[in-house]
Structure 1
């Protein structure tokens, strides 16, 4: 059944408003990875029943390696019913030229495709053609709202942290628990007086994580996000800072970067691409195109920023380790 026009316009309006804050959010964070698929050898009747039971409007068709080869929509089912072809194989009637989305495409690009093609969904496919997930407008709104929930804690914990001078330097921004900094698996003091030393902390953390056997992709994400945070301490804070890292059960890495410097006057503005407080001298050295918070957000699974002007900044990031830790045999190869 078609949705009322008012519902569609409401969703589009909400999407437009929310999208302004997360224009660079990648499709990999917007999509629903739990996709129902079928093989080309099944019949259209099977597809119709799947759509009816699960209340979905389209089914991606994949091969044995989960590579996308087509799509069956409600329109395809209607045509098959009208022509009494519902018992035929999917392969003969599926849409083969499917408009897809790459996992690194931004929210802006995805919304543009919705507006251009007027489709209800887009499969997310990597460079090898493997189906990773599917995106609908409701998926996008859900992902953005979840990001809002992670970024801004609208509860008593956030209120008490803001009112309590520097209490948020002692508590986790994400869990609210007191931070045991002495128990950190890795710690590095950032020297803000030498721009040439920018990135040393992130490089040392990268070595530490590799030595602990973390997979390459996870190490890269953590290193990039930590580098951005380290640059902010050196370029923007005007004070020394510290990088802390905790490894939890080999499945999660928490990185916390804090300083006691100038602080961020407007976190929402700082989250936008290109926002910077760097001096002309620092810009001439190749830094200061932005504060990098949006890049940190892209690389991490959860991120929280707390700041007060004149008291400093705390950035806390959580990274879920997809590949897990390598065992000794894997590291020796």
Structure 2
């Protein structure tokens, strides 16, 4: 039975094109940039490497945080990228499948691979997080108006909006994502999928951006603090969007204290990974128009946020 399941899973993954899950809006640099400039780009964008392209957008190299560290040690930050980039770049074809991508990661152990067309021009980039998002989606962690999800979702007494008081049918949510993993490195998959969903619905870009940021913070809080699975619900209206993130975990003992910037109960290993800075709830409040947090120690957390669309009068 196990071998049959594995065979079915492999068949599901076999034909997923890299075009379906690669990042298309790629951050790249030109060879004449200085390493110091790249260091600042990586810091601001919170990424660990970028492709290097020529004037024809053809990939000629890649520079990573490891290269920058070497330049820091050697005092060569002001030298050009061309002098310190990796020139023999391993790229993926835009015709590659998910299985091809996985084999590349297993073989080369790199953190990212540029994706190029037949002429070698940059069209995207793939990281391990992109693979996880693709696999999660295909395995059914994401359901949009899925009848099976409607049948299995638990009934909840919180059938009204905590903000507006209007009735909310969670089984009829326009978007649903189940947060059922506990690896902090995977936090953000739900927010990323919500962002793609909202873009597909024609929601203004600046609204999508703040919704995605606030949802990311809420999702990360579930992974770091709850000790349980969680759920993301999104409801669309002509003039506003409501996002509700729920978990059934440890809860918040003192919400007022948790709302203060810098306050965090994240363990040391989480902080070492760059999370748990105590900005989760403050950022959710900052990026939403209205927010309500309902929690009790040992009984989970419900965060509901309302975002009024910039096109509304």
- Structure of higher RCO (CA pairs closer than 8 Å, 6+ residues apart): 1
Which of 1 and 2 has greater Rg? 1
